[in-house]
């Protein structure tokens, strides 16, 4: 199921509760697809990056080659926020009058730890990664943060597009008001020179630059929203364990994503206990089945793929290839 979905999409988001094996499933899927001849980019958006640990090598915030046809990237939240604030600060200093530069710096310093700043900065980086990645790669696989963080992040493109649109509308009303003032100023040369004059001209230039900046942001968020809501190009896969809390969190995450217009294409149940390895594991598997019955009752239309509990950790390319083989068999 999972590999079929990956083969038919350009963008794949792998999400779910922490500790259920999202990174392993994402990496194995990306590696398997690269093995078919596709150019694949594997991206981690989780602040607690595990890609490097999984591949047993450093990855980091710059694209690196992981295997033939497969590149990897870890989006660093702190670096992303710092870069985002530097970019926004530079733009504001260009837009604001020179004597307000100190106020801009003060605002940027206070914004660093503002609620939602990390999510907004990360969203911009994801938007850039998707836009640029679709030009360079056949498939983008995102290993996402745990459910709560990811559900908020997935809702942001729609919110940020609407928010930017609102700013543009207010900015347009401000422009019309300025036009009225200039027309009034034409009837009184003294008023036009003393109040509107050069300051009005400078204000027009700043307003034009503001509009250009807002239009670029709107286009960026709109493109990302269009991609993640396009069921033909993008799919979201939820990975979970067959336990009570992951099952309940999966049901909630699916509902949150659905409200954001995002297609959950399937579920991957990882670390499934064997039924033929003694009474203890057989009893555990029976308990897991009860939880999966509840899951299927709540989400009856979603395909479910099950993966077995493994005796050893999955580390390195060879282990990931073996795990990918299991994806094609189950």
Q: Is the same domain home to 215 and 239?
A: no
Asked if 191 and 310 sit in the same domain, the reply is: no
pTM: 0.79
Together in a domain, 71 and 130: yes
Q: Identify whether 90 is part of a domain.
A: no
Question: Confidence class of residue 207 from pLDDT cuts 50, 70 and 90?
Answer: low
Q: If pLDDT is split at 50, 70 and 90, which confidence band does 166 have?
A: low
Residue 96's Cβ-side half-sphere holds a number of Cα atoms within 13 Å equal to 15
What tokens were used for 107? 């605002």
Q: Examine the domain organization and report whether 70 and 187 are in the same domain.
A: no
Q: Once rounded to an integer, what is the mean pLDDT over residues 2-26? A: 93
The CA distances from residue 9 to 74, 161, 184, 246, in Å, are: 21, 24, 57, 26
Amino acid 226: pLDDT: 86
Looking only at the bridges linking them, the beta strands covering 64-67 and 304-308 are unpaired
Are 205 and 242 part of one and the same domain? no
What residues make up the domain containing 25? 2-80+117-157+230-329
What is the share, in percent, of the chain residues with pLDDT greater than 70?
A: 70
For residue 100, being part of any structural domain is answered with no
Mean pLDDT value of segment 244-249 = 94
Shared domain check, 318 and 259 = yes
pLDDT range class, residue 195, cuts 50, 70, 90:
very low
Residue pLDDT, tens place only, 123-152: 788 888 999 999 999 999 999 877 555 666
Query: Above 50 in pLDDT, residue 191?
Result: no
Has residue 106 got a pLDDT over 90?
A: no
Residue 153 belongs to some domain of the structure:
yes
Q: What Å distances lie between residue 66 and 13, 248, 316, CA to CA?
A: 19, 35, 10
Q: Distance between CA 93 and CA 217 in Å, rounded? A: 17
Of 204, 223, 242, the residue at which a domain comes to its end is: 223
Alpha helix segments (H runs only) across the chain: 2-8, 22-34, 51-55, 77-95, 101-111, 117-136, 147-186, 189-191, 197-228, 244-259, 279-298, 317-329
Shared-domain flag, residues 26 and 167: no
- 124 and 43 part of one domain: yes
Instruction: Give the pLDDT confidence score for residue 193 in this predicted structure.
Output: 47
Per-residue pLDDT, averaged over 72-87, amounts to 77
Burial (CB count within 10 angstroms: exposed 0-12, middle 13-18, buried 19+), residue 173: exposed
Number of folded domains that form the chain: 2
Tell me the C-alpha distance between 40 and 145, whole Å. 20
Kindly state whether residue 102 falls inside one of the protein's structural domains.
no
């Amino acid at each position: 199921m999972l590999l079929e979905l990956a083969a038919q999409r350009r963008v794949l988001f792998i999400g779910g509760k922490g500790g259920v094996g999202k990174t392993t499933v994402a990496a194995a899927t990306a590696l398997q697809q690269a093995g078919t001849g596709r150019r694949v980019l594997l991206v981690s958006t989780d602040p607690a990056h595990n890609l490097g640990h999984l591949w047993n090598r450093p990855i980091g915030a710059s694209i690196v080659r992981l295997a033939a046809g497969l590149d990897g990237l870890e989006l660093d939240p702190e670096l992303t926020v710092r870069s985002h604030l530097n970019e926004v600060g530079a733009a504001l200093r260009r837009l604001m009058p020179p004597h307000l530069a100190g106020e801009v710096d003060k605002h940027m310093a206070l914004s660093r730890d503002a609620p939602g700043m990390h999510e907004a900065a990360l969203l911009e980086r994801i938007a850039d990664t998707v836009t640029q990645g679709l030009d360079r790669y056949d498939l983008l696989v995102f290993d996402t943060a745990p459910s709560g963080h990811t559900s908020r992040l997935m809702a942001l493109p729609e919110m940020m597009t609407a928010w930017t649109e609102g700013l543009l509308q207010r900015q347009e009303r401000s422009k019309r008001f300025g036009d009225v003032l200039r027309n009034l100023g034409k009837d009184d040369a003294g008023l036009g020179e003393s109040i509107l004059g050069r300051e009005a001209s400078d204000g027009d230039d700043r307003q034009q630059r503001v509009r250009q900046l807002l239009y670029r942001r709107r286009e960026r968020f709109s493109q990302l929203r269009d991609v993640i809501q396009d069921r033909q190009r993008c799919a979201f896969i939820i990975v979970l364990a067959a336990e009570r809390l992951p099952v309940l969190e999966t049901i909630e995450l699916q509902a949150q994503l659905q409200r954001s217009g995002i297609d959950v294409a399937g579920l991957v149940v990882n670390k499934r206990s064997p039924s033929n390895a003694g009474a203890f594991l057989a009893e555990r598997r029976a308990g897991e089945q009860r939880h999966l019955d509840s899951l299927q009752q709540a989400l009856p239309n979603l395909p479910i793929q099950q993966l077995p509990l493994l005796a050893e950790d999955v580390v390195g390319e060879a282990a990931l290839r073996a795990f990918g083989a299991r994806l094609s068999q189950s």
